[in-house]
Each structure stands twice: as structure tokens, then as C-alpha cells.
Structure 1
Amino acid sequence: MRKDLSVQTLAVLLVPFLLILTVGGCPWFPDLGNGNQNTNTNTNTNTNTNANTSEPNQPVTPGDSGLTGKYVGSARCALCHTNVHRNWSATLHATALETLEAIGQGNNSICLPCHTVGHGEQGGFVSRALTNALAGVGCESCHGPGRDHVENIEDKTKRPPKSIAADVCGKCHTSEHHPNFEDWEESAHSGIQSSLVTQFIAGSNALTCGVCHSGDVFVARLKGETVGQDFLKNKAADDLNPITCAVCHDPHRKTGNAVEPEDGRDYQLRFAQVKFVTPTNTVAAATDPTRFNLCGQCHHARDRVWTDGSREPHPSDQINVFFGEMPMPASKPDPIVPSRPSVHLNAAEQCSTCHVFRSPFVAGRAPAVSGHTFEVNFEGCVDCHGTADIAKAKFDGLKVEIDTRVAQLLAALNAWGTAKNIEGKGALSWEYTSEGGPSAGGQNTIPDNIKKARYLYYYVVQGGGTGVHNPDYVREALVTALTLAQTAP
């Protein structure tokens, strides 16, 4: 006989299986928050078989006699896409149905649409006995039904779509159980600046800016495709993908790049979640993404150095500040500020510790936290700082200090500018040309002290102006910059 499970028991059983980035949605708890209730009614229109009629503890002989519709199962894909299928087979997507069966929910018609292929659709998963080939999150879960393709291999119009759009994952990685998609939609990663959209579809800057602002460009380069500045030319604005799930996560394979493999999960990160490097101040090293962790693939410095006058440092140097380094010009390689790695370098997950804090769904008590807004969650600081309140108080105190130092530096720079009034720019005489400062000719009259001070100003502000990424390094940078500005000729 099937035993009734209490809500509390189910919640305990769910914890190992419904941590963040679990495969597909599993809204098994009866209160779905939308007035719907869990019933035993199967919505599959292709069969009268009720998916919830079998006893969960009785052995079922897997079979595929019901595999006659538009879905064919991932094994058919393996005939040609052998390596991709082999890698996928090792992921939790491949065993998604087993996670339900392990908690006695293998026949739950609410959970099955996201733990199998096409459940509830004509030709989709019905049961292990009839459509075992469609168990789990398979190729067709993301690429769509494959029968037309496998029966018309040479017809390119029948090939399934390949998309890195976030809503491919968002179909299942959603709701209070794992709200990755909803959280991501609130993040800056979910959009592309309108000015860049205009440039991309006009055929420019795909390689210059698109490497980190376009998911399409980022993934294409990972695949070894040739990418030029016009790579996105004439694409519809709505078809441009920002930094979507598949930019950071490899949908087809386990990578071993996450730091918590002991929980039975692999977050399938494309790059290491944690990486340690020796700080350096050369342009080549400071701008080399292969040195850095996943976030550092984009959040690293570009080639601007303090001797430049046209534009300020690119606002992306967080990982360099974290490691306590900055690019110096080859002609003047001595660092303005000595390298000093952050005390936060040893945080268990580095960037993710604070920016991707996660907690599991607890039925009737708390929704899951996915961390995919990428906003700081002070609960991630508890291991070192005791409580989230203590961590936030330290953060707030540091922010006040750094804001004060930044304001002092800005005042000193403006005072120097007002006194010199280069090209009639007044207080902005210290600024880069792009920020309203003097022309190229005027830049040549600005002394090195001011050039170094303004570089440090932007390096701190652009790298996360609170200083929390590397408090000691940022503090020393601002002290040094203020001295340079106040003693400039």
C-alpha cells in the first residue's frame, strides 16, 4: 500500500534534491500559490492512461510501446550526436525523473512536465512502462520534438532549434522552488544597453563590446566560431541574447568547476567558480580572462592605463581589484599602489559567496533563494562574520569611509582643475576627454600626479566603489591618490 507522506516529511526528503539549479520545476507542494491544487488527473491528450495509477513501490518494466508521437527520445539523438549525448548522460538532467521517484513523487502530474520530456503533450511522456525513453530532461526538452528531424535528416528546415535564450531554461527553473529565471530577470545580466543594441544590429562593436555584453557572441567564441564586428548585424533587437543561463552554464555536460561537488550536484559552470592568481600589473596579465574565475571572464580590466587621456578605465575591473592589481603602461611599469590580494579571496566561493547566495525551498516556510539577481546577500557572509546583521554593519561602515575618501579625492581634483583651467574646462581640467576634460593637446599638459590620481579614482569607483572587494587595497589607493592630487604642480 502507498503510505501518505506529511508535508514535513516531504520537505525533509526534498532538501537533497531541490537545492539551487535543480533540474526542472518540482512544485509538488499542493498550494501552488495560484489557486491550483495537486490532483491525479493526467492532462496528456494522447492517451487515457492515468500517470498516477501505479503504486510507487511496485517494480515497473520500462518500455517504449507508447513512443509513437512527435517525441523520439534522447537515445535517437545519440546516433549522430554521440559525444554530446554521452556528456549529457552524466548530468542531473538525464536522471531528473529519478529524483522524483526517490521521494515518492514519480507519478506526480504536476512535477512530471519538468522532469520528463513532453508530459501532458500529445506524444509526450506517459509512464516508465510506455515511454521510458522520454524520462528525464532530454534533448527534446530544450530543442523541441525531434521526430520530423530524425525522419528527414537531410532536410535542414526540419532541424530542431538551438537557442541560448533564457526562457528555454526558464520554463522549469522558476517558481518558489527554484526561482532562477525570475531572479535573473531582475538582474543587469538580463538586458543589453540600448546604445549597444543599436550598434550591434547596425553591424558594429560585436567583437569589441559583444564579447561580454552579448551572450550570442560569448558562446560563439567559446565554440570557436569566427566572430567579426558585424556578427550581429541585422538581427532583430528582440533576438539578441544578453548574458543568459547558457553563457555561464554548459547545458550539455558536467564540468567540475563548482566548489560543492560533495552535494551530488555539478552546476555545469563553463569556468571555475574559484581561482587563485598571483597579482601582476602588466596589461597582458590584467586583461587576460583565462587567469580568472567565471565572473572574471568579463569583470576584468581592459587595456586602459594611467598614461591614457582619452577615456577613463573601463567599468569592469572588479576581479583585478579583488586580487589587488592594475595594468601599468609598459614604459612606466612600476605600480602606483603595491599589489595586495583581498582578505575576501579565501571566501569559499569567492564572488558567488556574496553575489550568488543560495538556500533551498522549505515547504510551507520559505521559498528558495537562487542568488541569480547577483545582488549581495549578507547571509553569505555569516560563516566569517557571525550574522548577516554584523556583516551588513561592517559593509555600511566601510561604505561610509570609502565614500568620504572618494569625495575628498574628487574635491582635490576639482580644486586643481579650477586653479589650472586648462582650455577653459575649469574644475574638469583634470578629467579625461570623454568625460568633459581637455582635448588631446590639453591632456599633454596634465602632470603625471593628476593622471595617476584620476586613474585611481576611476579604478576604485568603477570596480565597486564601496571597497568591499578589497578594503585594504582600495583604502591605500585612495590615500595615495589624494596625496598625488594635493601635491600636483
Structure 2
Amino acid sequence: MRPFPTLLLAGLMAWLITPALAQGADEDDYLGSQACTFCHAEAAEDWAGSHHALAWTEATSENILGDFDDTEFTLDGMTARFSRGADGAHVVTVTEQDGRTTRYPVHSVAGIAPLQQYLLETEPGRLQSFDVVWNTENGGWFHLYPDQDLPPDDGLHWTGPYKTWNARCAECHATGFEKNHDPQTGLYRSTQVEIGVGCEACHGPGRAHVDWANVAGTTTPPPNYGFAVDFGDTEAAIQQCATCHSRREAHLDGNPLPGTPFHDAYNLALLRPGLYQGDGQIQDEVYVYGSFLQSKMYANGVGCVDCHTPHDAEPVAQGNTVCTQCHSPAANPRFPDLKPAVYDDPAHTFHPPDSEGGQCVSCHMAQRVYMGNDWRRDHSFRIPRPDLTNRTGASDACTDCHQDRTAEWAAAEIAKRFPDGSQTRPHFGLALAAGRDNPVGAASDLADLAGDTAQPGIVRATALWLLEQSNSPATAARLAPLLADPDPVVRAAAIGLQRLAPPEDRAGLLAPLLSDTVRTVRMAAARGLLLSPETRLPETDRPAMQAGLAEWRQAMSNRLDFPETHLQMAGVALTLRNFPAAEGAFRDVVRLDPQQVDAWMMLVRLAAARGGPQAARPVVRDALAANPDHTVLQGMWRELTGQTAPGTDLLPPSD
């Protein structure tokens, strides 16, 4: 055995520049949703008016619901005028805070309810999601982020990288989408088979099915009747829905071929701060899957189509009937462990039958509002736990409604109604919340949680991620068996923890996962070994290492239009002590998002380390030009110059 030669990776940043090809079916295999309607008229009719069908539509008078009769919206010095051109085209004329006015024909339309957003082409091929949207419920224009003052040079401005439709949204609003971003020019040449979520977005390309259907009765049906997805397999169906209904990081360039296992196409976001509350409840827009994985429903084999009709995506029944198809005295033979009992009754709900509080979802699927007026429900189906609120910092369903009351009041009321303590049993949220506050102090509880196979995999994986901050080789050794856990989310997180293992043990622990059946795990193992330059890797494992790095390279090269990707690349370069490459990556971060202060601070430190204070001063000047009120950057300027830096107006010109 000999050390893995990190010199071969010294050119990592250049190595990642060439974009990899997206994986998927041949475009000719897609036929479009119109090819399905003749034989599947009822399903097509249900789908036609659904949020899926209307996820992305053309900019026609029939599709556009907003008022374009010379209406205006003004906020923070920005004015948007909505009108029609001489040719009848819908136009948005935007006057920015800097006084610059630009006229944009509406390119296309996103969504139908409760709001509708308009896509504007800011340069050939690049679509941006405009932040002023139409309220389709009550009428009127509103801004998605009214509390953010976003000038045109802010990374979060509607023209910035976080609002680029091609990069952030189109994959889940189109069928057969390929992003086709050129990192050298920054241009997009995106394509799709069909805008909107068509039949083939979920079922897969239809040609094989139609070819069989044309001779049906004379040949044996092919597997899944020629489609890529077996919707008779509950887990496969859930993972197909999760390709869009999840917060995740994509490995491929566009839509994966339907039927691709989720963890071969995406890296699922864990229950991290900013995304989820301390106990795992939704906080940011996380799109269902990460919540559903926490639920007892998922653990017991419930799938998406048990509650939602597949083609219009509406609930299978009205009100509590969705829940009582299983949660009733009759129960459901598919779920034999479910206790038959009366749930839809004031004896259980403690609210009048027709009241908001009498609805199952009010207590067990708390909702949060996103994008101004879009209420979405938490799919972890949890029992309200106001007794945990003060210990986890998370919200509770009781005081969501009873806003004039406290969590202590709600906990006391539940204790009175359930004196046996059945509603106050231990909950994983306590360990996760404690781990956020103090991963070292909570290490024992987190380790117990990570090793508890009765807990949801995403919860255990989050515990492993938090344990990375415990700096405990003993904990890494204790939890090394989780590298063989059945859940790929747990295996991938367990790899991260092993960075705390002794270097002489790390290669032996991680090398077997280079040949894991799941792409996310293979990539995590390859990166884990790459970032351990002192690790000794047997010669026999080197081909698997190279293959894992190639998959990681492909994933990274598909996301070079994301500031976050360049942050990751900078971190890799720093670990490999490739400081020029790290500086280049941090430069790309602030080019895409000038408000990424952490990247600016690393640029200052790198400049100072390589060229002293004289080299660092112009970097701080540029950083303050983009972030004039940031106190840490002002402190850096004072340290380097002895002068105050209250704003760009007092900064000297760059050296």
C-alpha cells in the first residue's frame, strides 16, 4: 500500500470545468402527453387541469391570469409595469433601484394557484423568475420577498443566480429537461421535450409502450407495459414523486430517467438548521419527502397515492375521510399493525366536528406559508408536542391556532386529556435540538439516536452529521458499523463521520463503499478518501476510487452555475492545499453572489497569506463595495489600513 497521490488531483478545479453529459433516454423515445390522451382519456382529463400540467405554460392570454392592463407595482425604489405590447404580447417593464429601465416580454408562465409567476428572458436562453407575482386567489400583485431590499447587484436579486429558472426550477416544471449550461460562457442552451409536468415526466418515455399498444393482444406485455417506472411498487413510486417533491442536490444535468433510484440522482438534504426546525418540523421550503421519511406512515408502507390521486394530485377524499380510510374502527387490512379506533370524533380531537380544530391535518400536519401565500403542510404526521417546545425551540400545532396561549398551557391541556403519558413519550427531536446547540455535549445521545434502527433513517443520518462536530474518534469507531446500514442516507452520513477516525483506519473503512450500489454513497466515499491525503489506499481499490471521483466530477460539473458548488470546490482545494485553485473558486463564488461574505473573508486571508497586507487591501475594498455595512469586513479594513470603512463612498480606489 502507498499514499493516494493527491498530486494527480492538484488540477481539480480545471478538471471539473468540462460539463458531463446528462443521463436519460433518447429524445425520440418521448412522444409528448398528447400521445396518451386517446387511450387514457379519463387520466388525461384529470391531469389537464392539474398543478402538474400547469406547472409551466406558454405566455398566452388564456394562461396568463395577472392584470397586464398597465398596472404597476412599486417596492423599495423598484417599479414594475405590466402591460401589453402592440402585438398583444404581455410585457413587464422594470425600473430598478439604480434607475435603469428594461422592457421584458413575458417568456412563459409558472404555476396556477395560489400564485402565478412570470419568467423573463434576460439574455438568450437564460430565464429568470420575476419576484413580483400575481395572487390568483384574491387578485393583486405582490412581491415574494417584501422584507428584503435587493438592489440589482445583490445575488438574491431576481436577475441573480438563485432565481435562474434553468438552474433552479425548470427540472421540476418540465418533461425531458436538460439544462445544458456552458460554464465557460455562462450561457444556457436548455431543452425539454415538453413544458409542464407531462405524462412521461412520471411514467418515462412512452415509445416502447405505444409500440406495444399498437400490437396489443398479439404479444406479451413488456415489463411495466414499456414504461420505466413500476407504480405497483410503493417505494419506487415514492422515490419517483420525491425527484421533485424534495429538497436535494442534483447529480445529473436535468431530469433523470423516470425510475432512476432517488439516491442515484440526488443527494437528499438532511434535517439541517435553516431547512428544518430543531425537532425536524419543516421550516424552509423542503417539498415533502424529507418530512415524509420521518413519519410512521412511511415506516409502515403508506405511499403517496394512498392519499393523493395520481393524475390530478388532489386528496383521494374530502376532509378527514382521507385519514379515516385507515384510522377508523374498520382499520385497513393493508396495515395490520394499525390500531382500530375512533379518531374522527370530539373524544379524540377535543374540537367540534366541523371546526378547523376538528380536522386531522390541523393537529398532525401543521402548515407553513411560503412564497407569500402558498400554505404547505408538514408530512411528518407528528403528534403535537408542546411539551418539547421550550427544549427544542420548535413550533407546535396547538399554539399555531391558539396564538393567545403558551406552549406550557397547551402541554398542560394535553396532559389532562392523556393522563397515561401516551402523548409525551421520548422523541428524537430532543437529541437533534441538543446536538445543534452543543454537539460535543450531546454526543452520547446523538450516537444512541444514530444507532437506533427503530428511528427514521433521515433522523439517524442527521445525528451522524451533527456528530461530525463532536471531534470524537471513539464515537466514529463506535458507529463504524453504520457504514453497512441498509439505508443509503445513513451510509452516506456515516462516511462523513469517519473523518474523525484515525488515518490508518480510514481507507479500510471507506474503501468498500467505493463499490456501493448507490451513487450518492460511492461519491461520498470517494470524496471522503480524497480529503484524507494521508490515507493509504490499496492498489486494488484505486479503480473504484477513480470511478467514484468521476461520478463526483460529473455531479459537480453539472452545477457550476451554483455559487454553492464553487464553495465546495474551494473547500476541496483548501484541504488539498491547492491555494491558487481555492482562490479561483472563491472568486467564482463572489462573481456569482457578491454577498457571500464568507468567501470574501477567505479571499482576504489567502491574499494576506500569499502577498501580505498590500495584497489583501484591494480584496477588502472590493468586498466592502458589495457589502458596505458588514461589520467584519469593516474590521478587516481597519486592521489593514487603520482607517474606518463605513461605506464604499469613503473607500480609496483599488491598488
The two structures have a TM-score, normalised by structure 1, of 0.41
Structure in which a larger fraction of residues adopt strand? 2
The two structures have a TM-score, normalised by structure 2, of 0.31
